Amino acid sequence: MYRTHDCGALRMEHVGQDVTLCGWMQTSRDFGGMTFIDLRDRYGITQLVFNSEENAELAEQAQKLGREYVIRIEGKVRERSNKNPNRPTGNIEIEVSKLEVLNASKTPPFTIEDETDGGEDIRMKYRYLDLRRPQVQNNIIFRSNLAIETRKYLAGQKFVEVETPFLIKSTPEGARDFVVPSRMNQGQFYALPQSPQTFKQILMVAGMDRYFQIVKCFRDEDLRADRQPEFTQIDCEMAFVTQEDILNTFEGLTKYLFKTVKGIDLPDFPRMSYDEAMKRYGSDKPDLRFDMEFTELNKLAKGHDFPVFDNAELVVGICATGQADQFSNKDIKKLTEWMQRPQIGAKGLVYVKMESGGIKSSVGKFYSDEQLQGWADKMGAKEGDLLLILCGESEKTRKQLNELRLEMGRRMGLMKEGDFKPLWVVDFPLLEWDEDSERFHAMHHPFTSPKKEDVDRMLSGDHETMKSLRADAYDLVLNGSEIGGGSIRIHDRALQSRNFDLLGFTKEEAEAQFGFLMGAFEYGAPPHGGIAFGFDRLCAVMNGQSSIRDFIAFPKNNQGRDMMIDAPSPIDSTQLNELSIELKDKK
Ligand code: ASP
């Protein structure tokens, strides 16, 4: 037997027992004749003691151990005189009688503890060392538990786990595809799936009824802080269901996961239409851990000879409770500059401070105190509050105010750890008009069904009508992050053709790319719909973290590189020749 216990197992009740432990040497301290070693494995840390007076040779051997040496020891459990209440094994230590070095280690390039001195790049290069840090290890174990519980829940609801292929055909789902050249079919390419969307729909045509898969998806997007080129979804599809059935099933899954993995009971999830979310929060994924809802001020603010407001399509503001004296004029100036950065692009920021000594405002010249008090009343503001107001073109202004709302929420400490506020956002628009390409894009994806009541308008309406079509599409939002999204699908060939048509596909293009799906729709496709959860994001949000990278065992960095294996990398000319690929000379 290699070991009798792991490094997290021993307690007072084991005192007096002979044990054998294995693990990595985390730290070593010498105190006049005594050497103390912290031995670590996945389960915890146990303190080892070597007494040079009792066994000089053994103590000397212990002093020679370097950090991260892999050792095996035999010894007796004894009560510690100097207890460590912060550690589950902190009441005991092992008086070592035998020490065996199983493997030596080079000195690691950073300290392997929760608080590490290693920067991101070095930790990614030596990810196997980073993964020894308890915090990172716990994230990966959390993820494992979440996947196991997901399978349990869905299996209990009669879902069947089906694997769909990774080598598929390039399809436009919003992002760029990663492509894989085919050696056997020269000049042809597979694409890695952005999601198993068409396959899961085909599985419904095949009568599978309830499908799920915890599956890798690949999107060749420009990387943002919380994006990975490959990520994992809990991907699901159901036949003979309405939107209501899907929302209930996956609200059930989310509640189950919170309960079993975190011990948290979530209340029923509120629902909000896309339009309402945009109006009240300027976002289709509002963070509901705090209020600070938008108030429109067009009626009160326009028509008072303040041209900036008079010329704006929308004047809209938020009330930051109790913040009037927290923001000096200098702070407001800084906040204004923050809002004017190109990422946000606000033209300016108007403030009204409801101070005890009176009202102060950047537009005090244009409005009387009574008028400003009128704004405050409409916004539900009281003495001590700070009103922040933006104006301009409606959609843009709402988006800018959303950024400001989130920033104020952060600064005011309103995004509380351990607070979970889920929300279903429903009734998304079907199509989105893109000014640049002068084309409609599918707001969710091209397979999403319009609402029943909008089908006729979709089949026969004009251009403007298309902008107002609503879809049976929904997102699950948690603390301001979109953690799931899905829709009821089109299951009728003619309607699917019409959608491709609206999206700018010619008949031939639609046939070439999606002929297989439309063909399948001609053989008895049941009504169906589904959803996919971003599994990495769900892990992060459930732990109050913003980076999904911390929940992926081997993530890519900001440049899409795997620093450990150093990928992507060139391939040799033999491989290139086999694939008939000629590289352009790099100048
Ligand atoms: N395939 C979709 C996505 O990846 C999810 C769905 O509609 O089920 O967002």
Q: Are 150 and 234 in contact (CB under 8 A)?
A: yes
Q: Is residue 243 lining ligand 1, measured as CB closer than 6 Å? A: no
**pLDDT at residue 77, as a whole number:** 98
pLDDT band at 491 (very low <50, low <70, confident <90, very high): very high
Superfamily of 141-259+533-574 according to CATH:
Bira Bifunctional Protein; Domain 2 (3.30.930.10)
- Give the confidence band of 224 by pLDDT, cuts at 50, 70, 90: confident
Percentage of residues in the chain with pLDDT exceeding 90?
93
The pLDDT assigned to 226 comes to: 74
Report the pLDDT value the prediction gives residue 538, as an integer from 0 to 100.
98
Q: Which atom from ligand 1 is nearest to the alpha carbon of 197?
A: 1
Q: Which CATH architecture has domain 422-530?
A: 2-Layer Sandwich (3.30)
Q: Tell me how far apart the alpha carbons of residues 194 and 339 are, in angstroms, rounded to a whole number.
A: 34
Percent of the chain scoring above 70 in pLDDT: 99
- In the chain, where the domains are located: 12-103, 141-259+533-574, 290-411, 422-530
Q: Do 430 and 490 meet the contact criterion of CB atoms below 8 Å apart? A: no
Closest CA to 301 of 384, 209, 372: 372
Report the pLDDT averaged over residues 523-546.
97
- HEC profile of 197-233: HHHHHHHHHCCCCEEEEEEEEECCCCCCCCCCCEEEE
Residue closest by Cα to atom 1 of ligand 1: 197
Give the residue, out of 195, 200, 250, 425, with the most ligand 1 atoms within 8 A of its beta carbon, to mutate for a pocket test. 195
CB 529 near ligand 1, within 6 Å: no
Which ligand 1 atom is nearest residue 489's CA? 7
C-alpha 231 – ligand 1 centre gap (Å): 13
Whether ligand 1 lies within 6 angstroms of the CB of 195 is answered as yes
Q: Do domains 12-103 and 422-530 have the same CATH topology?
A: no
Strands of 422-426's sheet, edge to edge? 160-161, 210-218, 230-239, 528-534, 481-488, 473-478, 422-426, 271-273
Cα–Cα distance measured from residue 137 to residue 43, given in angstroms and rounded to the nearest whole number? 10
- Mean pLDDT, residues 486-499 taken together: 95
Give me the chain's average pLDDT, please: 95
Please tell me the predicted confidence (pLDDT) of residue 172.
Answer: 61
Is 317 near ligand 1, meaning CB less than 6 Å away? no
Residue 199 has pLDDT above 90, yes or no: yes
pTM for this one? 0.94
CATH of region 12-103:
2.40.50.140
Looking from the CA of residue 487, the nearest atom of ligand 1 is 7
What burial letters (b/e) apply to 209-226, b meaning 16+ CB within 10 Å? bbbbbbbebbbeeebeeb
pLDDT over threshold 90, residue 106: yes
The pLDDT value recorded for residue 44 is 97
Q: Is the pLDDT confidence value at 173 over 70? A: no
Q: How far is the CA of 196 from the centre of ligand 1 (A)?
A: 8
108-138 per-position pLDDT tens digit? 999 998 888 888 899 999 999 999 999 999 9
Dihedral Cα 173, 177, 183, 186, nearest 10 deg? 70
- At residue 587, the pLDDT reads 55
Sign of CA dihedral 129, 134, 138, 139: negative
Q: Is 532 in the pocket of ligand 1 (CB under 6 A)?
A: yes
Kindly report, residue by residue over 32-73, the tens digit of the pLDDT. 899 999 999 999 999 999 999 999 999 999 999 999 999 999
Give me ligand 1 centre to Cα 197, in Å.
Answer: 6
Domain 290-411 belongs to what topology? Gyrase A; domain 2 (3.30.1360)
Ligand 1 atom 8: the closest Cα is on which residue?
531
Q: 481: part of which helix (H) or strand (E)? A: strand 481-488
Please tell me the distance between residue 175's alpha carbon and the centre of ligand 1 in angstroms.
Answer: 13
486 Cβ inside 6 Å of ligand 1: yes
How does strand 34-41 pair with strand 18-31?
antiparallel
- Determine if ligand 1 sits within 6 Å of the CB of residue 530: yes
Query: Ligand 1 pocket test: which of 218, 236, 445, 476 has the largest number of ligand atoms within 8 Å of its C-beta?
Result: 445
